[in-house]
Structure 1
Amino acid sequence: MSEKMILICTDVSEASSDVVCSWLQYNNKKFLRISYENIITIKTVFIKDDKVDFLFSIDDTDYHLSDFKSYWYRRSRLKFAPFSVVEYIHEGVDLSNRMNAFLEEEYFKLIEFFQYEINKIAVLNRYEDNNINKLQVLSMARDCGINIPETSILDNAISPDVNQNEYITKAISDFILYDDKSNYFCTTDYISVDGPFSYSLIQKEVKKKFEIRSFFMKGKFFSSAIFSQENEKTKLDFRNYDFENPNRVVPFSMPAWLEERLAQLMQRIGLNSGSFDLAYTHDNKYVLFEVNPVGQFEQVSFPCNYSIHKLIAHEL
């Protein structure tokens, strides 16, 4: 019996995935790496007493779902062959639109079933993890006894009496714009009283001693302290990277009570992997900003020598 493979869904160029794949190659593990550029065509579904299996092709090569022992979703998404429309005329009446609407719904149910079954072998993340609601996470964190920033959602305008230097704003959801040359994404910035505007997340600025990025994987924490406050460019948000003068990043151990509450939060969200962005304040409190469900770990692993890429490869 041939060795089962690892299926990896990630972007064509994704640095963390590249390193994990290098470790898989080093350990002689068989894997198949795909992205949204590869087309999946479902051919047959087998539902029997002892198993469920799929025969499908990726581009021009056939596979069974049972050929894979694990699935790692990292980035991108699975891309399925487009639905094929039909012409249907019954007793002289053209029912093509209605028939195609029905057949398309049937096809989407089949895709949902494929994703349901492949998620059974998902080791760390699923595509659906991207859909967590940041506001719900803040509420859950508060329920778990974790400090969060003072937060409001405002519509239309901000009172001119508000001190712009005490409040910040950031996107409620993930927002990225693309063009041929660049990607644009939202970071954190100070508010402006100019309006009107749509619903916006407003938080009282947390005065930090330093920031914490902690990668969580199946109950284990890999944490780093980021000394972003020493650089004006990164002081408000360390993701405004200063590549000429990068922040100092060192290994950090969070208190056991905080890790226990963060693990409880991940259980409530339904994640077994992800990254936490926190701050340690001048009054010695830990404050959670958000949870990244896919989880940035490269900037934690390399400066702190955690070898997270190697650990993920072993987990797969």
Structure 2
Amino acid sequence: MILILSTPNDDDTNLVMEHLHLLGEKCIRINDLDLFNGNTKMHYELSPEPRLFVENIFFGRIDLSDIQCVWYRKFGFFDKFKKKIRGETNIEMLEYLKLEYTTTLELFFDFLKDKKWLNNYLSVKKLNKISTLIASQKIGLTIPKTNITNTADSLDLNESYITKSIKDGTVIDVGEKTFFFLTKEVNPRTMIGYNHFFPSLFQEKIDKEYELRIFHLNGKNYPMAIFSQRDTQTGVDYRHYNYSKPNRMIPYSLPGELDEKICRLMKTLELDTGSLDIIKGKDGEYYFLEINPSGQFRMTSMPCNYNLHYEVAQCLKKMNT
């Protein structure tokens, strides 16, 4: 039996499950949030030996000892749980609830640790943006000049930079306003006069020809070119989507050396799947940016006809034998 650890409203999970059904494979899905809103019941008993049961209206009661393989899709996004307790403003209480939340989810990881995994949770948990950039350099990939600093004195005031989250971007609601923490262009001259600020990540702004979004699955890359630079709204980051005039997105053929280095990087990081972001600069260089092991891949699959949801389902089927 296949277990998918996911989160509500993830369409990639839905599509893969449809393919698994057509392939005749039995699978169950546990959403992180459903464990805390009562949609999925859980029972963990420690003696005489650890046993973990889950139950909901879709698959009944299941002993997770019967699971053969696990797809770690998306599992453990506290922000979605936090929205359910929006009225709670006490920081200490939120920190306590977050610890209880993550510890509960880790019960699943520990209980399932000896199963076959598509993206082992340990590899995903230890991944971070900075260590990934360092690892990519060691393999021979080019990255933009990158700094983490709390003072403008260490930046060249004559250069333009982009800034983004050191860990993960997010969306924060304050009253009736919503703030998106995505990649932004910043001119150091605007920071003159600030003696210090919160430690922030700055990268040189690459004059790009186009962006690449690459989905990796078990040693094979599925690349897509995004012509985001043609629109001022998406020029810095294609995720500032222009829904009225979407970017052109087409299949792409990677140079052999770049394709091989990406596969080596994923193997080094012990990741089976992930979405990679790369910029093709006007100088002809490819600049590696980051990896999202849980990134949605429908955006790559559908414009390029890669049928990635079927490929993931086939991979899980092989693991389930």
- TM interval, shorter chain, is 0.7 to 0.9
Whether contact under 8 Å (1:11, 1:35) holds in the other structure is yes
Whether contact under 8 Å (1:6, 1:30) holds in the other structure is yes
Query: Take 1:181 and 1:75, find their aligned partners in 2: how far apart are those partners?
Result: 28
Paired residue type of 1:57: V
TM-score by length of 2: 0.77
5+ residue gaps, structure 1, are: 48-52, 80-104
1:15 matched residue in structure 2: 11
Q: Does 1:176 pair with 2:170?
A: yes
The Cα of 1:122 is off from its aligned counterpart by: 4.5
**Alpha carbons of 1:45 and 1:186: their partners in 2 closer, same or farther (altered >3 Å)?**
farther
Q: Which among 19, 31, 51 is matched to residue 27 of structure 2?
A: 31
Q: Does 1:146 pair with 2:141?
A: yes
Q: Which among 38, 42, 58 is matched to residue 44 of structure 2?
A: 42
How large is the RMSD of aligned CA atoms in angstroms? Answer: 2.9
Between 66-75 and 117-126, the greater mean CA deviation after superposition: 117-126
Query: Take 1:78 and 1:168, find their aligned partners in 2: how far apart are those partners?
Result: 26
Aligned 1:76-115 pairs, distance under 5 A? 76-77=75-76, 114-115=108-109
The Cα of 1:154 is off from its aligned counterpart by: 1.1
3-state SS, counterpart of residue 250 of structure 2: strand
Between 280-289 and 59-68, the greater mean CA deviation after superposition: 59-68
Query: Take 2:44 and 2:234, find their aligned partners in 1: how far apart are those partners?
Result: 47
Query: Take 1:215 and 1:263, find their aligned partners in 2: how far apart are those partners?
Result: 11
Paired residue type of 1:124: L
Query: Take 2:274 and 2:177, find their aligned partners in 1: how far apart are those partners?
Result: 26
Paired residue type of 1:188: T
Paired residue type of 2:68: K
Whether contact under 8 Å (1:40, 1:59) holds in the other structure is no
Identical-residue share of aligned pairs (%): 33
Query: Take 2:299 and 2:168, find their aligned partners in 1: how far apart are those partners?
Result: 20
Between 250-259 and 180-189, the greater mean CA deviation after superposition: 180-189
**Alpha carbons of 1:276 and 1:55: their partners in 2 closer, same or farther (altered >3 Å)?**
closer
Larger strand proportion of the pair: 1
The Cα of 1:219 is off from its aligned counterpart by: 0.1
1:102 matched residue in structure 2: none
1:277 matched residue in structure 2: 277
Paired residue type of 1:284: G
1:101 matched residue in structure 2: none
Alpha-carbon deviations, 1:250-273, whole Å to 9, x = none?
111111211211122112222111
Query: Take 2:257 and 2:25, find their aligned partners in 1: how far apart are those partners?
Result: 37
Q: How many residues are treated as equivalent by the alignment?
A: 279
The Cα of 1:71 is off from its aligned counterpart by: 1.1
Q: Which among 98, 118, 143 is matched to residue 112 of structure 2?
A: 118
Q: Does 1:190 pair with 2:185?
A: yes
Whether contact under 8 Å (1:215, 1:223) holds in the other structure is yes
Query: Take 1:134 and 1:308, find their aligned partners in 2: how far apart are those partners?
Result: 25
5+ residue gaps, structure 2, are: 36-40, 79-99, 317-321
3-state SS, counterpart of residue 210 of structure 1: strand
The Cα of 1:20 is off from its aligned counterpart by: 1.2
3-state SS, counterpart of residue 258 of structure 2: helix
Query: Take 1:125 and 1:293, find their aligned partners in 2: how far apart are those partners?
Result: 8
Aligned 1:211-230 pairs, distance under 5 A? 211-230=211-230
1:56 matched residue in structure 2: 53
Bigger CA radius of gyration = 1
Whether contact under 8 Å (2:133, 2:143) holds in the other structure is yes
Query: Take 1:154 and 1:73, find their aligned partners in 2: how far apart are those partners?
Result: 33
Query: Take 1:284 and 1:127, find their aligned partners in 2: how far apart are those partners?
Result: 36
The Cα of 1:68 is off from its aligned counterpart by: 1.7
1:240 matched residue in structure 2: 240
Paired residue type of 2:115: I
Larger helix proportion of the pair: 2
Whether contact under 8 Å (2:2, 2:27) holds in the other structure is yes
Paired residue type of 1:68: I
